[in-house]
Amino acid sequence: MLNVLTPDEVSELIKEKFSPLKNSTEAVGLDEAVGRVLAEDITASEYVPDFDRSTVDGYALRAKDTFGCSDAIPALLTLRGEVLMGESADFELDEGECCYVPTGGAIPNGADCCVMIEYSEDFGDGTIGISKSGAPGQNMIFRGDDVFPGKTVLERGRVLASQDIGALAAMGVVSVPVVKKLTVGIISTGDELVPPEEKPRAGQVRDVNSHMLTAMLSAFGVKCINYGISVDNEAKLTEKVTKAVSECDAVLISGGSSVGVKDATCRIIESIGELLLHGIAMKPGKPTIMGKCGEKPLVGLPGHPVAAYFVTRLFVLPLLSRLMGREEPTYTVTAALSESVGANHGRAQYACVHLRYENGKLIAVPVRSKSGLITTLAGADGYFCIDRDCEGLPKGAEVSVTVCNGN
């Protein structure tokens, strides 16, 4: 029999026992890459921009031609014309000359700064008066200021955000190497379960977990295969698990709240692979099983939806991240508890909260309900953890809330 592990020990176990999958790179187009995991470092092979650019509408010139000028005594420069947007500046500016350059336009050789048009006067005779002295490099971006060959712009493992897509576009990376989407199989077990579209008879309840898990994994960028509801029959469950393992990168076996099903899940994992974990010291979520078959994880989740929810968020998503080489830090928001919360379990206790602002301060309202109620979760904005060695928190205590809106 395996010992019950603490949440931290489970996180360590995941790192130790699982590795990023090999040969899991595919190329997708720029407009399909947001939210995907970058599979390789992106290193520039060109200069961006590839020419010196102005950052203002104004006159490109040699800064020293304007030193000491003022409103009263403007520097008088000879206009060499205009650089059009999108055109190269195929002439060289001499001393005493200037040319008009729009924002983003190319600065000709010979010029070393740009003076805003607000500080100029066009005398109409080919002479431009400049009333504010420029400094070398002012109001311009140099070739390669943004990106130069060899610069690593994005590191593999990053979940691509829109700002990263912008950088890829600038560099001309239109085929983006990303980690292939994982396929996760979901099996629900339990004689009491009926699909959500059916009206439960007495003693029956609807299958919540497989749909909640599908939603959470889909939002995480994973493809789900739902293998349906399995009754508490070990031979049939074995068949289903074996099929799912052969077709998927990972398999979740949800529920079966009875002792018999838990034992069966353990035996099945041991018969086709290795059992790694039996029980996590957390509430809710204790009756969790984890194993592996080859490199593929198998997780037996608690039947209670709230327990299954926390175990999936806290351990299954990190486990899938590990397989994908996905590096995504999680951040928490700080909120003050609206009321005291008790805990005295010797195990980490997780609770959902609603968040709201009161006088500019973020307040966490703990959702109170009996174990196993799905409406504990519905409408929740996030959750927090009370450490195993903490006996409770008073009203007003600051807690770190992981926000889980919209995913």
Question: Least distance (Å) from a copy of itself to the CB of residue 155?
Answer: 7
CA nearest 305: which of 400, 406, 205, 233? 205
3-state helix, strand, coil in the chain (%, to 5): 25, 35, 45
User: 97-101 and 58-61: which strand pairing?
Assistant: antiparallel
Question: Least distance (Å) from a copy of itself to the CB of residue 294?
Answer: 28
Interface with a copy of itself, residue 223, by CB under 8 A? no
Out of 20, 318, 325, 372, point to the residue binding a copy of itself (CB under 8 A).
372
Measured distance CA(327)–CA(116) in Å, rounded: 44
Out of 96, 136, 196, 342, point to the residue binding a copy of itself (CB under 8 A).
196
**For a copy of itself, which is the closer residue by CB, 74 or 284?**
284
CA-CA distances (angstroms) from residue 13 to 8, 292, 310, 315? 9, 12, 18, 10
Out of 55, 131, 233, 338, point to the residue binding a copy of itself (CB under 8 A).
55
User: 42-43 and 152-154: which strand pairing?
Assistant: antiparallel
Return the HEC string of 320-353.
Answer: HHHHHCCCCCCCCEEEEECCCEECCCCCEEEEEE
Token reading at 64: 């020293």
49 upstream amide cis, omega within 30 of 0: yes
Question: Least distance (Å) from a copy of itself to the CB of residue 302?
Answer: 10
Return the HEC string of 11-37.
Answer: HHHHHHHCCCCCCCEEEEEHHHCCCCE
**For a copy of itself, which is the closer residue by CB, 196 or 342?**
196
**For a copy of itself, which is the closer residue by CB, 270 or 327?**
327
**For a copy of itself, which is the closer residue by CB, 19 or 407?**
407
The DSSP secondary structure of 233-244, one letter per residue, reads: -HHHHHHHHHHH
Interface with a copy of itself, residue 4, by CB under 8 A? no
Q: Rounded to 5 degrees, what are φ and ψ at 100?
A: -75, 135
Binding-site size for a copy of itself (CB under 8 A) equals 112
**For a copy of itself, which is the closer residue by CB, 68 or 329?**
329
**Which residues from 317-346 bind a copy of itself, rule CB under 8 A?**
328-329, 331-334
Interface with a copy of itself, residue 45, by CB under 8 A? no
Question: Least distance (Å) from a copy of itself to the CB of residue 36?
Answer: 9
Interface with a copy of itself, residue 397, by CB under 8 A? no
CA 357 to chain centre: 25
Question: Least distance (Å) from a copy of itself to the CB of residue 133?
Answer: 20
The number of beta carbons lying within 10 Å of the beta carbon of residue 130 is 23
Interface with a copy of itself, residue 150, by CB under 8 A? no
Out of 19, 109, 218, 271, point to the residue binding a copy of itself (CB under 8 A).
218
Interface with a copy of itself, residue 190, by CB under 8 A? yes
284 upstream amide cis, omega within 30 of 0: yes
Question: Least distance (Å) from a copy of itself to the CB of residue 343?
Answer: 18
Site string for a copy of itself, 118-147 (x = CB under 8 A): -----------------------x---xxx
Measured distance CA(84)–CA(262) in Å, rounded: 73
Taking a C-beta distance cutoff of 8 angstroms, is the pair 279, 265 a contact?
A: no
**For a copy of itself, which is the closer residue by CB, 109 or 340?**
109
Out of 10, 179, 208, 252, point to the residue binding a copy of itself (CB under 8 A).
208
Interface with a copy of itself, residue 272, by CB under 8 A? no
Site string for a copy of itself, 65-84 (x = CB under 8 A): ------------------xx
297 upstream amide cis, omega within 30 of 0: no
Out of 214, 254, 288, 349, point to the residue binding a copy of itself (CB under 8 A).
214
Interface with a copy of itself, residue 104, by CB under 8 A? yes
Measured distance CA(374)–CA(367) in Å, rounded: 11
Interface with a copy of itself, residue 103, by CB under 8 A? yes
Out of 58, 291, 303, 366, point to the residue binding a copy of itself (CB under 8 A).
303
Interface with a copy of itself, residue 389, by CB under 8 A? no
Interface with a copy of itself, residue 202, by CB under 8 A? yes
Measured distance CA(335)–CA(338) in Å, rounded: 9
Token reading at 19: 């590795």
Q: Indicate the residue type of 46.
A: E
Interface with a copy of itself, residue 170, by CB under 8 A? yes
